[in-house]
Structure 1
């Protein structure tokens, strides 16, 4: 049986996090749902159907989930980003941290408002330091599409300073049902994060749900 890393989904009880947890567990990844409340995380984990030889998903506190995982995925609101990074920085030493956080600033979430540091991904790498490898990805995948199941006609930009870590996340993207595109260093995460606000605006103006992006010219 192929070895798959254990994934901690921090914010795994939310719409995006639970959608990712559901799909990765079904694809055979051991999944730990992380939440501020371990009880709430366990309740969410019990709703997940594991597949392809994966163990049953389980829930834990954010720190407990991160400490037990090989790869930690952040799927939390930007307003909680700093606090989560501070909480987890000791638990993620030596691991890949996948930052799916988007710097949305209500009420103008359809307007690009990147932070002074450049992007949430850059903030994460700066706060965690070089003790972990931060990869920015999955900002442009609609939670509703993840929850619905089935194939998703969407590409995701994968940015990080470590090539091996980017490749690991691209493999995770394939298991999620989307195509991961190597988009270079963490500084480029600003493009994917900015695109999220643009896609929110497109959804509203064209009255569609979960608009996405696709990169042309690259063979499937």
Structure 2
């Protein structure tokens, strides 16, 4: 069984980051929500806790530097702020597992369209900036509204990809520690473009059909039997 971990969320004060913090906290992990501004990080976590007073969760709010001290770090920044946010944290993140949930999307004619970063995906861009970190991709397709509503029972699969087997398995264990989520291994960091871009389809489907669309793979076991 996965032990309790310290998980930092860089850029974690948006809906997706706070939703991840809530679900991880409920799952028993210690979570540090980071922000560019320490007070904003603390205030967002205070509001999150006040909205979930019945939950005994170990979540704190601070700046991104403090969040980067955790053993595993999730990157939840807006795509166009990701690289500049991570550059000053490079030393703190050396040798650590850095999980990207960043999607490069742009609104065009009322719809979201995927963008192609210089290296082909945000995951690969992060690996370029953090060459001594173990970069993994995960959590791209989870609707923030579902994450933030504990009354909603999750039942989604999470595509996990990366070049380091140990880091992928550790990330998969974190995914599987959240009730209702199942990690599915989809390959190396080269899969980043496909995984990240597909988020635009899910968001569009959610808007057009007035729902919160996620993904479910069929015909597969959990990640443990696929590595």
Same fold flag (TM > 0.5):
yes
Please tell me whether residue 185 in structure 1 is matched to residue 193 in structure 2. Answer: no
Q: Which residue of 2 aligns with 1:78?
A: 79
Provide the rounded CA distance (Å) in 2 between the counterparts of 1:116 and 1:34. 26
Q: Which residue of 2 aligns with 1:100?
A: 101
Provide the rounded CA distance (Å) in 1 between the counterparts of 2:8 and 2:79. 18
CA-based RMSD: 2.1
CA displacement 1:79-134 (0-9 Å, x = unmatched): 111111212211101110000000112336522322231110010111100x1100
Provide the rounded CA distance (Å) in 2 between the counterparts of 1:181 and 1:2. 17
CA contact (8 A) 1:112 1:198 kept: no
> Aligned to 1:134, what secondary structure does the other structure show?
strand
1:208 to 207, 210, 213: 210
Question: What TM-score, normalized by structure 1, do the two folds share?
Answer: 0.90
Runs of 4+ in structure 1 off by over 4 angstroms are: 49-54
Provide the rounded CA distance (Å) in 2 between the counterparts of 1:64 and 1:209. 35
- Aligned positions of 1:36-47 closer than 5 A: 36-46=36-46, 47=48
CA contact (8 A) 2:159 2:184 kept: yes
Question: What TM-score, normalized by structure 2, do the two folds share?
Answer: 0.87
- CA-CA distance at 1:146 after TM superposition: 0.3
**Structure (1 or 2) with the greater strand fraction:** 2
Count of residues in Structure 1 that have an aligned counterpart in Structure 2: 216
Q: Which residue of 2 aligns with 1:126?
A: 128
Provide the rounded CA distance (Å) in 2 between the counterparts of 1:51 and 1:75. 26
Provide the rounded CA distance (Å) in 2 between the counterparts of 1:163 and 1:52. 34
Provide the rounded CA distance (Å) in 2 between the counterparts of 1:10 and 1:38. 12
Q: Structure 1, unaligned stretches of length 5 or more?
A: none
